[in-house]
Amino acid sequence: MSTTKFDPATNLLNTLHTDQVFGVNQSISDSATFTFEDGQQMTDTFNGEHQAFLYSRHWNPTNLELSKALAAMEGTEMAWVTGSGMAAITTAILQLCKTGDHIVSSMTTYGGTFAFFKNWLPQMGITVTFVDISNLEEVENAIQDNTKIIYTETMTNPLLQISDVPELSKISKKHNTKLVIDNTFTPMIFSPIKLGADIVVYSMTKFINGKNDTTAGAICASEEFINALIDLNDGTAMLLGPVLDTFRASSIHKNLFTLHIRMKQHSLNAMFLAKKFKELGLKTNYAGCKDHPQHELMTATMNPEYGYGGMISIDLNTIENASKFMALMQKKGVGYLAVSLGYFKTLFSNSGSSTSSEVPQSLQDKMGLSEGLVRYSVGLDNHIETTFDVIKSCLVELELI
C-alpha cells in the first residue's frame, strides 16, 4: 500500500515482514557473536567481501530490523540504533568532525547537547558557534571555512522554536556542510530528510519508545554514512561502541508501530490545553497556536495528520511559582514532576533549573528562557477536559490566576 505524499506511518507498517522464522514479532537475537562456516568466510567478512553478521557491536538481526523500520519511517536509506539519544548525537557529530573543525548550532538545544558542544568538543579542538536558529542571516554569517555541520532541533528544547529546515538546507548545501537535525520532539510530525536535512538523530527514550522504560537513540542517514559509522577500522560507532542492546531494540521496535496513534493523541491533548491556558491568560507557548512565531512555518513544513505535537510551555515568571505549581499538580494526579517527555502520563519540569541548567544564565536570558518556565509533555489522557480542570484548580489554589 502506498500513497503519493510521504507517509511515515504507512512506510513503517509496510516494513512488517512475512518471514515465518520470525513469527509476527521478530525474535530477539541473543548473541554477541556469530558463527562462520570456515576461516575464509570470516576473513572475507572482515575485509568487507562477504556480507554477514560478525559481532553485535557492529550489527545484529534485531537492531537491523529496528533500524530498517526507522529508515522507512524517516525516508533515509539506513539507520543505526544506540543506547541513548546522547550516544546518537555524539557519535554522529564525532563521525563528521575532526580536530580543527567547526559547528554552527542553534543556541537552544537540549542541555546535554549544549554542554557537549560547549564543554566537551573544545577539548578535542572542535569549536561551536551558537546562533539564533530562526535568524537565517545569523546562521549563514556564522559559517567559517572549517564549518562541517549546521545543527539544530526541528522543535527546539525547551523554547519550542521551529527550525526552517528547507532554508537551513539551502545554506548548508551552499557552504558544503552537513545539516544534522534532532527530531526527538516531533517524530512523524516532521520528516527532516524530506525537507533537505542530511542526518536525523533521535532520542528514542522519548516519543518513539513512549514508555519511559529505557534510554535509546537512533541515527538515520544514507547507507554510505551508516557504513562509515560502523567501519571496522575508523568508524566512530564501531570504535566507541554505543550500540543498543537487542532486548531493548526488540521492545522499542514493537512500540514504534503505535507511534502514529500516540502522536495524534499527544497533539490533540496539547492543543486543547494550550487553548485553555490562553483563555486563562497564561503566557503560553504552543506551536499549534496562531501567535507562535513559527506557526505558519510549521504548518507549511509538517506532515499535518499528526498535529502540532505534545509539547507546551507556560511562563509563571518565578522559579518559586513554577516549583509549588508542579508539586501541587503531581499531588493532584495531573502527572509527574520529572524530566523527559513523550510518556503516556503528562510530565512537567522547570527547564531553566533542570534540562537546560547546563546553559549559563546569561545565555538563558539572551534566548528568552524564563526562570518560571514550566514545560509540559502532555500525556495520552482520555479525558483531557478533566485534566485541565485539575490543573486550573492548582492555579486557583496557588493564586497564580
Q: Is 166 helix (H, G, I), strand (E, B) or coil?
A: helix
- Residue 65: partners with Cβ closer than 8 Å, 6 or more residues away: 17, 26, 249, 253
Q: Is 130 helix (H, G, I), strand (E, B) or coil?
A: strand
Measured from the CB atom, is 84 or 172 closer to ligand PLP?
Answer: 84
Measured from the CB atom, is 45 or 152 closer to ligand PLP?
Answer: 152
Measured from the CB atom, is 85 or 187 closer to ligand PLP?
Answer: 85
The single-letter DSSP state of residue 332 is T
Choose the binding region for ligand PLP from 25-33, 116-124, 129-137, 177-185 (rule: CB under 6 A). 177-185
205 forms part of the interface with ligand PLP (CB under 6 A) = yes
Counting Cβ atoms within 10 Å, is residue 77 exposed (0-12), middle (13-18) or buried (19+)? middle
Residue window 105-144: x/- pattern of binding to ligand PLP, with contact defined by CB under 6 A: -----x-x--------------------------------
> Is-contact 374 346, C-beta < 8 A?
no
> Is-contact 81 249, C-beta < 8 A?
yes
Measured from the CB atom, is 76 or 82 closer to ligand PLP?
Answer: 82
Measured from the CB atom, is 101 or 153 closer to ligand PLP?
Answer: 153
Cell of 37: 562456516
Measured from the CB atom, is 112 or 352 closer to ligand PLP?
Answer: 112
Measured from the CB atom, is 178 or 276 closer to ligand PLP?
Answer: 178
86 forms part of the interface with ligand PLP (CB under 6 A) = yes
186 forms part of the interface with ligand PLP (CB under 6 A) = no
Give the Cβ contact number of residue 14 at 10 Å.
12
359 vs 362: CA distance, rounded Å: 8
Residue window 342-361: x/- pattern of binding to ligand PLP, with contact defined by CB under 6 A: -------------x------
Choose the binding region for ligand PLP from 82-90, 166-174, 303-311, 362-370 (rule: CB under 6 A). 82-90
Q: How far is the CB of 112 from ligand PLP (least distance, A)?
A: 5
59 forms part of the interface with ligand PLP (CB under 6 A) = no
Taking CA atoms, 303 is separated from 306, 312, 334, 364, 381, in Å, by: 7, 19, 29, 31, 23
Q: What share of the chain is helix, strand, coil (3-state, %, to 5)?
A: 40, 15, 40
Contacting residues toward ligand PLP, per CB under 6 A: 84-86, 110, 112, 153, 157, 182, 184-185, 203, 205, 215, 217, 340, 355
